[in-house]
């Protein structure tokens, strides 16, 4: 028999009046602020003017603002959010039952929109500010395709042009994502391409390369800076993206507060850190202000372990080294995860905000092997019904591990995790898993040392 608590609904929704009206900027409550972006040529913090050719003005203001706690969400964005938000906070009764755990598990499901992930929360905000500035379009990169899809939806809604550089291997292996983007009017170019200088240079140096996220970023930045009326937008890592994604955490907190539920453990998968940063923001705010304590856990792939095996240093955000330097936990911008890695979260670095919080001991991180991740994904699909994205399944794995620990210790902990998206476009990865062809390729210490040796030297610093 399932242990339904009749005072707590299966899914906790919010009414329109309960939806957040402002994003929360966790930097406002951080005692040690995240390190600023640096200009690689001078070693000095990037100024508003230096960022202007690449980013939209309002987004630069958000990026550089470490002090303002709340940014009102413009009405047009709130209206768009209403098309697919609030996202449900679901009590995982079936999963609890299957695990025979006394733990109470909740997950915030962000896959209820066509793009299939949380990325739409920031895509609409970034497209809105580009439109407001009178620009004609935006450029970006996409790996697996979730961000490109989200951005193409947002641009279609607002009537903006959208140019997506898609990592070549994904362009070829994920034709369905590509066609979704084209359905929403985006142009999609496989990266590296002949359409940019950096793309041509990379192709010359590595003919036949299947591309990487870092390389696609370099191309998208170049494409934005070289055509007037265009700016570059990025779906993760940046402070502004975490700000927009705070909508996830604010809704979660309002929903939990409504029923007097206080989580003990909050878990999220971490690629560049945006969903996790967004989910934990209001809880981390309480922790930083000394009001409450939570265990917060970032989960990353063992094959791309930025937090658990990376180094905290200034690094390039992209392979082509055209972007500013960010201080973060990084594997080095030349690190490329094994081609056998199918579980997403492949970025070499991590949000500067989360990196600082982790460095200051305010959150934990674990890495998990992908076969264990897909085992959890399948278990979850069979018990809770939702087919999870491989990325999201990292969080499922750790939530399950914590719930199993509770079964052993008898503790009735409340666990909240972020279920960032659906896995419909990831069936090739699931197929590999089902056929027993999935391997766990974990980078050696030597491989990481080689990559660390190529970290940039900062001008003016020893
Ligand atoms: C992009 C993506 C992630 C990872 O990105 P973060 O910026 O770390 O949140 C996780 N889950 C899904 C479904 C994604 O599309």
Contact 244, 121 (CB under 8 A): yes
318/222 same-domain check: no
204/250 same-domain check: no
Distance from the alpha carbon of residue 270 to the mean position of ligand 1, in angstroms? 7
Q: Is residue 240 assigned to a domain?
A: no
Cβ neighbourhood burial of 17 (10 Å; 0-12, 13-18, 19+):
exposed
C-alpha separations of 46 from 43, 63, 140, 333 in Å? 9, 11, 20, 19
Give, for all 462 residues of the chain, the pLDDT tens digit.
567 777 888 899 899 999 999 999 999 999 999 999 999 999 999 999 999 999 999 999 999 999 999 999 999 999 999 999 999 999 999 999 999 999 999 999 999 999 999 999 999 999 999 999 999 999 999 988 999 999 999 999 999 999 999 999 889 888 899 999 999 999 999 999 999 999 999 999 989 888 888 889 899 999 999 999 999 999 999 999 999 999 999 999 999 999 999 999 999 999 999 999 999 999 999 999 999 999 999 999 999 999 999 999 999 987 777 789 999 999 998 888 887 888 888 889 999 999 999 999 999 999 999 999 999 999 999 999 999 999 999 999 999 999 999 999 999 999 999 999 999 989 999 999 999 999 999 999 999 999 999 999 888 775
For residue 263, the tally of other CB atoms under 10 A from its CB is 21
392/321 same-domain check: yes
CA-derived radius of gyration, the chain? 21
Q: Using the 3D structure, point to which of 232, 260, 294 is the last residue of a domain.
A: 232
Contact 164, 152 (CB under 8 A): yes
Beta bridge partners of 106: 91, 416
204/286 same-domain check: no
Provide the 3-class DSSP secondary structure of residue 405: helix
Q: Is residue 457 assigned to a domain?
A: no
330/343 same-domain check: yes
- The CATH number given to whatever domain includes residue 164 is 3.40.50.1100
334/374 same-domain check: yes
pTM for the full model? 0.96
Q: Is residue 328 assigned to a domain?
A: yes
Q: Is residue 461 assigned to a domain?
A: no
Distance from the alpha carbon of residue 4 to the mean position of ligand 1, in angstroms? 31
Gap between the Cα atoms of 272 and 117, Å rounded: 14
Q: Which of 353, 421, 426, 429 has most ligand 1 atoms within 8 Å of CB, for mutation?
A: 421
Nearest to 165 by CA among 151, 176, 155: 151
Q: Is residue 78 assigned to a domain?
A: no
Distance from the alpha carbon of residue 208 to the mean position of ligand 1, in angstroms? 27
325/196 same-domain check: no
Contact 164, 186 (CB under 8 A): yes
Distance from the alpha carbon of residue 275 to the mean position of ligand 1, in angstroms? 6
Q: Which residues contact ligand 1 via a Cβ below 6 A? A: 117, 119, 146, 236, 269-275, 345, 389, 391-392, 420-421
105/178 same-domain check: no
Count of all residues that appear for the chain in the document:
462
Strands (E), 20-86: 22-24, 70-72
Q: Is residue 188 assigned to a domain?
A: yes
Tell me how many domains the chain contains.
2
For residue 76, give both structure tokens. 């047009």
Domain limits for position 196: 24-71+119-232
The pLDDT value given to residue 143: 85
Pure H helices in 138-273: 146-158, 168-173, 175-183, 197-205, 213-226, 239-258
Which residues fall within 8 angstroms of residue 281, CB to CB, at 6 or more apart?
Answer: 24, 26, 242, 245, 246, 249, 250
Gap between the Cα atoms of 179 and 34, Å rounded: 38
314/434 same-domain check: yes
Gap between the Cα atoms of 406 and 400, Å rounded: 10
311/414 same-domain check: yes
Contact 249, 221 (CB under 8 A): no
97/166 same-domain check: no
C-alpha separations of 109 from 117, 167, 417 in Å? 9, 27, 9
For residue 140, give both structure tokens. 């970006």
268/184 same-domain check: no
Instruction: Produce one character per residue of 143-163: b if its CB has 16 or more CB atoms within 10 Å, e if not.
Output: bbbbbbbbbbbbbbbbebbbb
Q: Using the 3D structure, point to which of 232, 256, 277 is the last residue of a domain.
A: 232
> Going by DSSP bridges, is the β-strand pair 311-316/325-330 parallel, antiparallel, or unpaired?
antiparallel
Q: Is residue 358 assigned to a domain?
A: yes
Q: Which of 116, 117, 390 has most ligand 1 atoms within 8 Å of CB, for mutation?
A: 117
Contact 448, 358 (CB under 8 A): no
Q: Is residue 179 assigned to a domain?
A: yes
| DSSP character at residue 26 | G
Q: Using the 3D structure, point to which of 232, 264, 290 is the last residue of a domain.
A: 232
Contact 336, 381 (CB under 8 A): no
């Amino acid at each position: 028999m399932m242990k339904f608590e009749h005072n707590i609904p299966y899914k906790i929704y919010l009414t329109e009046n309960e939806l957040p009206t402002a994003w929360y900027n966790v930097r406002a409550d951080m005692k040690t602020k995240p390190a600023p972006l640096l200009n690689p040529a001078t070693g000095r913090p990037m100024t508003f003017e230096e960022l202007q050719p690449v980013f939209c003005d309002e987004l630069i203001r958000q990026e550089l603002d470490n002090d303002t706690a709340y940014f009102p969400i413009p009405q047009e964005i709130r209206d768009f959010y209403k098309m697919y938000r609030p996202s449900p906070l679901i009590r995982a009764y079936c999963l609890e039952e299957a695990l025979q755990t006394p733990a109470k598990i909740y997950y915030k499901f962000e896959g209820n929109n066509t793009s299939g992930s949380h990325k739409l929360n920031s895509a609409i905000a970034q497209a809105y500010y580009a439109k407001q500035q009178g620009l004609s379009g935006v450029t970006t990169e996409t790996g697996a395709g979730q961000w490109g899809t989200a951005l193409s939806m947002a641009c279609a809604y607002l009537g903006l042009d959208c140019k997506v550089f898609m990592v070549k291997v994904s362009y070829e292996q994920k034709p369905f994502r590509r066609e979704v983007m084209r359905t929403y009017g985006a142009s999609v170019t496989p990266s590296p391409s002949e359409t940019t200088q950096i793309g041509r240079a990379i192709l010359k140096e590595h003919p036949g390369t299947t591309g990487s996220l870092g390389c696609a970023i370099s191309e998208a930045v170049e494409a934005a800076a070289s055509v007037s009326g265009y700016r570059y937008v990025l779906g993760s890592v940046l402070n502004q993206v975490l700000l927009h994604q705070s909508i996830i955490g604010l809704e979660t907190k309002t929903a939990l507060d409504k029923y007097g539920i206080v989580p003990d453990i909050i878990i999220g998968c971490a690629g560049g850190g945006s969903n996790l940063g967004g989910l934990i923001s209001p809880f981390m705010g309480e922790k930083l202000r000394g009001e409450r304590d939570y265990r917060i856990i970032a989960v990353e792939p063992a094959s791309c372990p930025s937090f658990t095996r990376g180094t905290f240093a200034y690094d390039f955000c992209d392979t082509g080294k055209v972007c500013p330097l960010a201080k973060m936990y990084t594997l080095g911008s030349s690190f490329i995860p094994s081609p056998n890695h199918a579980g997403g979260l492949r970025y070499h670095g991590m949000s500067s905000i989360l990196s600082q919080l982790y460095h200051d001991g305010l959150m934990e991180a674990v890495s998990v092997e992908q076969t264990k991740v897909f085992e959890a994904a399948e278990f979850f699909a069979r018990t809770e019904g939702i087919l999870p994205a491989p990325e999201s399944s990292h969080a499922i794995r750790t939530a399950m591990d914590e719930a199993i620990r509770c079964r052993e210790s008898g503790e009735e902990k409340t666990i909240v995790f972020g279920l960032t998206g659906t896995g419909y476009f990831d069936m090739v990865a699931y197929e590999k898993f089902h056929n027993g062809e999935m391997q766990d390729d974990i980078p050696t210490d030597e491989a990481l040392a080689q990559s660390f040796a190529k970290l940039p030297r900062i001008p003016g610093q020893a």
